[in-house]
Amino acid sequence: MTIKQLVTHACTFALLAAPLAGAACTTETPTGSLIVPFEIGAGVECSVANVSEVKVALYDMPPDGDVSEEVDSLTVPCSEGAATFNNLPVDRYYITAAGIDPMKFTVVDNGASVETDLGEVLQGKENTANTVVMSPTPAQLWVRFALNLDDFQTMCPSTPIANFKVTASKSDGLAELLTTTIACDAVPESDGYHHIADPGRDLEGVSFNHVRVQALDGTGNVIGDLKYQLAAPPGPGRVIKLTPVANCLSADDTCTLACKGGACTPD
C-alpha cells in the first residue's frame, strides 16, 4: 500500500470515528492570487511600441532536468499594465510576457530575462511579482539551399559543397550580428528551410538588413558567394526566408550562387 493510500484510509477512519477530526484531512490545495505588472523597456508607451495586447504565462519550476510546463496564462490589453491570476496553487513560478502587435506578431517579450522573472504565491494572499520588463524581439532568419537549380540539398553528394556559411549584418553589411555554418546535407527543419539559431537575440529586427551566404568546400575554402541586401529592416519578430541557388555543374569545383527567381528578395 502506498503512502497516499495509507493517508486516504486514515482520513476515512477518522471521519467515521469523529466528524470533527476530518478537518485535518482536507485534500484542498492551498491557493492565492498573483499580480504580474509589466512594462516595455524604460516605460515606453504601448502605442509607441505598437503593442496592443500582452500575453502573460506562468510556468512551474520542476526539479533540475525536467521540462517546465505552463500552469496558466492570460492575455490582457497592453494598457492595463498588469495581469491578475486568481486561485493559483501555492508555489513559485517562472513568468513569461509577450507583447503582440495588431498583426499578431510578438514584437516585445522578456525572453532575455525569463529565468529571473519569478513570482511566488502565498496562501490566501494577494501577491505581486516584480515588474516584468519586455524588450524588442529579434527577427528570425530561415534559409534553404537549392542545388543545381531545383534540387534542395539532395544533390549535396554530387557537388563540392560541404557547408554553407550564413552571416547576418546591419548597416548594409558593415556590422555583423550573427553567423552560423550549416552542413550541406543537414536535415532542414520546415519546408526545406533551416532556422538560423539566435540564442543571444542578436538579430535586431530594427537594424538587420543584410545577409551573406557562402558555399564552402571540405577544406573551408569559399567556392561560392552571394549577398542579399534587404530593402529595409524587417522589424522585431518578423520572419525573413531566403532561397539561394547553387549551380555546381562546372568542372573546376566552383559554384555559382544566385538568388532563386533572379531577384535577391525574401521568399
**Residue 181 counted as domain residue:** yes
Average pLDDT, the chain: 87
Does residue 146 sit in the same domain as residue 253? yes
* pTM across the whole model: 0.80
Share of the chain above pLDDT 70, in %: 86
Does residue 146 sit in the same domain as residue 255? yes
| Domain housing 34 | 28-136
Q: Which residues contact 237 (CB under 8 A, 6 or more apart)?
A: 101, 105, 106, 107, 137, 138, 139, 140, 205
Q: Which of 16-30, 49-63, 159-173, 189-203 has the lowest mean pLDDT?
A: 16-30
Query: Is the pLDDT confidence value at 66 over 90?
Result: no
pLDDT digits (tens, 9 = 90+) for 15-56: 444 454 444 455 688 999 999 999 999 999 999 999 999 999
**Residue 19 counted as domain residue:** no
**Residue 230 counted as domain residue:** yes
CA atoms within 13 A on the CB side of 20: 0
Between 5 and 194, the higher pLDDT residue:
194
Query: Is the pLDDT confidence value at 204 over 70?
Result: yes
- What's the domain count of the chain? 2
Does residue 119 sit in the same domain as residue 162? no
Mean pLDDT, residues 58-76 taken together:
92
Tell me which residue of 121, 185, 120, 159 sits closest to 246, measured CA to CA: 159
